[in-house]
Structure formats: C-alpha cells, structure tokens
Structure 1
C-alpha cells in the first residue's frame, strides 16, 4: 500500500464511506482497508468517525497554538517570547474557570489524600482537621500516648507529632 493510498483511505473514511466502497475506489480488498482502519483508529461506524474528525481537528488546533483555547479564534503570534494561548484576558479567565487545575495533596493532620482545585499550598483537607491541629495538640498527644501505652492501634499521627518524635530519634 502506498502513502497516497493511505491518505486516500483516511480522506474517504472521514467522508463517511465504508470499507467496501473505499476498497472498490482504490482497487484494494475490503479486509486490507478494514485492517488499516483498525490499526489507525479509523474503525467503527463511518458516521461516528465524521464526529471524531471534528474533535481531532479541535484538538490539533489547541496543540499548535494557532487558535485561542477558549473561543477558537485565530491568534497572531509574534516571533519572540512565549506563544499566546488566548486572544484576550477574558478568554483566559473563562478557560481557567471551565478547566480548573486539580492538585492531589495530603492533609497535614489526618494524612489522607484529597483533591484541591486551584490551590496548591493547601495544608488541611477540612476545617475540622485545621481546628484539631491548631487547638487540640495536647489532647491529641495524650490520646495517642494512651493508645500506645495500652498497645492499641493508632489510626493516624499528626504531622507535628511525627516530626517531634522523629527529631528525638535523630538526636539520639
């Protein structure tokens, strides 16, 4: 199969033609066309493929920085500096609102992992953890010490207590 035939298969497939019609047009068997289409993500119903082509084109536009990520209008890039991604500051704000960055963090108090939108420096997963860490250090330390003395399982150790205990170990 030549490169020209491969390009023709892609074009005809995006036009909505089936394997048999493409094979008749290019003088290849239906199975050769079908195998090529399966290997290159062109399989399935031809009508669905036309929709996928539109999505692929939108994706390619976003990657190449030729079009605004938010509204899709053409961008004029200058020769130097970083490439523009948005046509205006309003488009940038709209894009960031619709596509927030999500960070995976660990709570300093209960040590559970949680997701945080837009805020990378957040320390606690909830207000309860913040309050426990800020105002109940003595009570938490006494509770953990009591569990250790009774040889019971300790569910979690707050970060401040862990650092304190590790500092004693390092100093010895």
Structure 2
C-alpha cells in the first residue's frame, strides 16, 4: 500500500466513513482497509460518530484505481474509475485477470499446430505474427496427420 493510499484511508476514516465505503471508493479489499485502520488506531465503531456529527459528507469521494488521485464526478454521467487514458491502460495491462473479455474463440495455428485463443469476430489462422511470416514466406505448415 502506498503512502498516498494510507493518507486517503486516514482522511476518509476521520470523516467517519465505513471500511466498506472506503474499500469501494479506493478499489481495494475491505480486509486491507480494516487491517490498516486497526494498525493505525483508526478502528472502532463509527455509529456514534455518525449520530453526533451532523455535517457528514453526502457523497464519498472517488479515486483513480491506478494512481490514487481524487476524481471529480459529474452528475448524470457514468462514474469515472480512472483519471486519464494512460492510467486506464496501465491499470488494465497490470491486471489482465480482471479483464472481462467476451466471445473467446479457439483454433489451431496453421504453422506450428499449437492451439490458441483469440477475441473478436474475425477468424484467426495463426497464433503469432512470426508464425504467419514463417507460413507466408518460408512455406512452413503444420502436418495435421503426424502427431
């Protein structure tokens, strides 16, 4: 956890936000927020604080999933998750397991015979560009009968 994330958690916890609300806003697990708060002395029941404090914020601020900068959300527009396209691409490239890809197709490479997966509507014949080059210019073809 970065120092910036720690300061954000501390600020939000001091504003009497729950572990769940902070975790959702920052894109981390509830256990991460709870353990940091317990180690930092920010734990405890916040119900009394909510009842005694009348000027609680109406909306929880949101933060960029990649760099942690606070995002400015506009009304009647889809909620932003990233501050910029660079942050979005960086985050998705570092978290490929969370990418929800639709329509996976599988096929066998004409050059090497390896089975591969691709996404999208157009059929693919080769697993990599190198296999395409070998097949196109060198005539390398996978013999399907020979195993």
**Coarse TM-score class (shorter-chain normalised):** 0.3 to 0.5
Larger helix proportion of the pair: 1
Higher CA-based Rg: 1
TM-score normalised to structure 2 length: 0.36
Higher relative contact order (CA 8 A, sep 6+): 2
TM-score (norm 1): 0.32
